[in-house]
Amino acid sequence: MESKGAVRALGALAQETRLAIYQMLVERGPAGAAAGQIGDALKLPPATLSFHLHELSHSGLVRARPQSRFIYYNADSTAMNGLLDYLTDNCCRTSGACTPVGDAARPAPQTPSEPPRIAPSGPKPIVHPKKKVA
């Protein structure tokens, strides 16, 4: 993904209604949902829903497929993975402080000048978001 595509995708998700639509479509998986189902679930008028679905489709994060009299939308996980790859491509390039997700069980090396780390209470944070979206 190039920077223009990343800006377009991030811009599409930087709006509360579109983010809610995208999250719903991710939850639905590859089958997605019909436009009417999305509107009903999120209580959106058809014109508003159409506008937001167009923005998400234009960004490449959502795909539309006509089926009979309906249009079904689903989240494009390949596009989201491309966005995540773009955002994390140079993560910690100079410091080497990040631990890839596959190595998350192994703690990151500490330099002698670094104080011991205190584990946060609550959910464990993602050390390096290179994880692929299913």
Q: How far apart are CA 79 and CA 61, in angstroms?
A: 6
**pLDDT tens for each residue of 7-30:** 999 999 999 999 999 999 999 999
Which helix H or strand E contains 63, and what residues bound it? strand 62-67
Residue-level length of the chain? 134
pLDDT-derived band of residue 38, with 50, 70 and 90 as boundaries? very high
* Distance between start and end Cα atoms, the chain: 18
Residue that the structure tokens 């979206």 belong to: 133
Which pLDDT score is estimated for 131? 54
Q: How far apart are CA 93 and CA 80, in angstroms?
A: 22
